[in-house]
Amino acid sequence: SYPSILGGRVKTLHPKIFGGILNRQDNESDVAQMEEFDIPQIDLVIVDLYPFEKTVASGASEDDIIEKIDIGGISLIRAAAKNFKDTVIVPSMDEYSMLLNLLNEKNGETSLEDRKLFATKAFHVSSNYDTAIFNYFNTDDTYYKASISNGMTLRYGENPHQRGFFFGDFDAMFQKLHGKELSYNNLLDVDAAVNLILEFKENEPTFAILKHNNACGLATRSNMKDAYLAALAGDPTSAFGGVLIANGKIDKATAEEINKLFCEVVIAPSYDDDAVAILSEKKNRIILVQNNAELPEKQVRTCLNGLLVQDRNNVTDNKEHLKTVTDVVPTASEIDDLLFASKVCKNTKSNTIVLAKDNTLISSGTGQTSRVDALRQAIEKANSFGFSLKGAVM
């Protein structure tokens, strides 16, 4: 009885629509009012909300973003979900297949349990949508809201007796080409590997090997094969069962060398077809293509009965940050090695001492309660693998 008004801002907000959705079919008063006001019964509501988050991500103007705050759609979702006993709500295109399967399997009927499941998904969609809007407007750092979808059940947590889950959009970060399911510990190592490799320029072939979230091998060379071999030489013992990551394409020659090592995960932005075939010879080895997705600007972890939130550490040391305070001035190559070592140190568990030479991680003492012990550990490791520390930096 009313047209769409205010430039489309008001279309569905009408008693005949919301009455048809919210009426209780077993309530005599509701049934009588439906007849009195000639309100049609609505049993199925399907909504596709305005793409608010995509509009924000596109860099659109504030006016365009505001117009993509859906009012009627959210209201329809909440109304239908509230009355799930009598109404089916399909809150997004992601649930179309679920609805079609149910209708085909049950000849057009749904159970109360089915409708409650749709309602649960509906409130998830609406709460996620409102969180995104809040975060767009919020400028007060004392408020923190997050709504994360795409939960993934893991084989187990840190230990086999612990349940484990990952909440996030893994497919936005990686394409999985081969291998078993990722574990909780795999994901922690993958996260550490990605944070480390992002420190290095793509035009400088760099390879890293990580174990228990720390680099045990890292090197930059003129090609990826040499970078891998130099990284492996840093600690071939710890590399066993580790996570490997490159900042450039892995070719056949590099893959042949990697294939000699037992490793859990290999990550790179791209691979030669021959390289994928070689690395896939080990059926459980996980092969990931790293997409160009950005990491969150905030880091979050549980603490006591709450959360600790901080800005991501995006600062990488450069020559301007360095100040010589000794009589001996470092050479240009020593400065390069110091900056290389600083990137490793930044991404290694404290207390840590990093020894580097010729753009190679020689050794590190990691996670020690004393920096003196960390230094002793680093020196002992370097000596045990036959490295000369003459000319190395710390």
Is the residue at 297 inside a domain? no
Range of lowest pLDDT (6-10, 33-37, 212-216, 242-246): 6-10
Domain count, the chain: 3
What b/e string do you get for 22-33 counting C-beta neighbours within 10 Å, with b at 16 or more?
Answer: bbeeeeeeeeee
What integer is the mean pLDDT of 221-243? 96
46 with 129, same domain: the answer is yes
Is the residue at 72 inside a domain? yes
Distance in angstroms (rounded) separating the CA atoms of residues 35 and 217: 76
Is the residue at 275 inside a domain? yes
| DSSP three-state, residue 77 | helix
Q: Is the model's pLDDT at 150 over the cut of 90?
A: no
Which residue segment(s) compose the domain that 321 sits in?
A: 315-384
Known active-site residue 82? yes
Is the residue at 150 inside a domain? no
What are the C-alpha distances in Å from 390 to residues 334, 356, 393? 12, 10, 9
351 prior amide bond cis, ω within 30: yes
Contact 126, 134 (CB under 8 A): no
Q: Is the model's pLDDT at 220 over the cut of 70?
A: yes
Of 275, 290, 305, the residue at which a domain comes to its end is: 290
278 with 227, same domain: the answer is yes
Strand partners, 218: 208
- Tens-place pLDDT, residues 254-300: 999 999 999 999 999 999 999 999 999 999 999 999 998 889 889 99
- In the block, tokens 């070719």 appear at 251
Q: Is the model's pLDDT at 151 over the cut of 90?
A: no
113 with 193, same domain: the answer is no
CATH number of 105's domain: 3.40.50.1380
pLDDT level of residue 141 (50, 70, 90 thresholds): confident
125 with 234, same domain: the answer is no
Handedness of CA 55, 60, 66, 68 (dihedral sign): negative
Contact 48, 37 (CB under 8 A): no
Of 115, 137, 159, the residue at which a domain comes to its end is: 137
Q: Which of 11, 14, 82, 178 is catalytic?
A: 82
Is the residue at 269 inside a domain? yes
The predicted pLDDT at position 60 comes to 96
Of 238, 257, 290, the residue at which a domain comes to its end is: 290
Return the percentage of the chain with pLDDT > 70, whole number.
98
Strand partners, 210: 215, 243
- Tens-place pLDDT, residues 160-206: 999 999 999 899 999 999 999 999 999 999 999 999 999 998 889 99
The predicted pLDDT at position 10 comes to 72
102 with 184, same domain: the answer is no
Known active-site residue 161? no
What are the C-alpha distances in Å from 116 to residues 122, 273, 292? 10, 47, 38
Q: Whats the size of the chain, residue-wise?
A: 394
Q: DSSP assignment of 160-212, as one string?
A: TTS--EEES-HHHHEEEEESSPPPHHHHHHHHHHHHHHTTS-TTS-EEEEEET
Distance in angstroms (rounded) separating the CA atoms of residues 55 and 337: 43
What integer is the mean pLDDT of 303-314? 93
Is the residue at 149 inside a domain? no
The predicted pLDDT at position 103 comes to 87
- In the block, tokens 């550990």 appear at 377
The token pair at 10 is: 């008001």
What integer is the mean pLDDT of 352-380? 95
pLDDT level of residue 14 (50, 70, 90 thresholds): confident
Is the residue at 51 inside a domain? yes
74 with 193, same domain: the answer is no
Q: Is the model's pLDDT at 243 over the cut of 90?
A: yes
The predicted pLDDT at position 2 comes to 67
337 with 249, same domain: the answer is no
The predicted pLDDT at position 202 comes to 83
191 with 285, same domain: the answer is yes
Q: Are strands 206-211 and 165-167 parallel, antiparallel or unpaired?
A: unpaired
pLDDT level of residue 144 (50, 70, 90 thresholds): confident
pLDDT level of residue 1 (50, 70, 90 thresholds): low
Distance in angstroms (rounded) separating the CA atoms of residues 200 and 186: 22
What are the C-alpha distances in Å from 132 to residues 53, 125, 154? 7, 11, 27
210 with 265, same domain: the answer is yes
| DSSP three-state, residue 338 | helix
The token pair at 199 is: 């420190």
The predicted pLDDT at position 9 comes to 65
The predicted pLDDT at position 294 comes to 86
What are the C-alpha distances in Å from 267 to residues 161, 197, 242, 279, 300? 28, 10, 11, 11, 24
Distance in angstroms (rounded) separating the CA atoms of residues 41 and 31: 10
Q: Are strands 361-365 and 353-356 parallel, antiparallel or unpaired?
A: antiparallel
Contact 60, 53 (CB under 8 A): no
Average pLDDT, the chain: 93
Is the residue at 305 inside a domain? no
- Tens-place pLDDT, residues 43-66: 999 999 999 999 999 999 999 999
175 with 230, same domain: the answer is yes
| DSSP three-state, residue 246 | strand
285 with 319, same domain: the answer is no
CATH number of 263's domain: 3.40.140.20
192 with 133, same domain: the answer is no
pTM for this model (two decimals): 0.83
Q: Which of 11, 14, 68, 212 is catalytic?
A: 212
What integer is the mean pLDDT of 333-360? 95
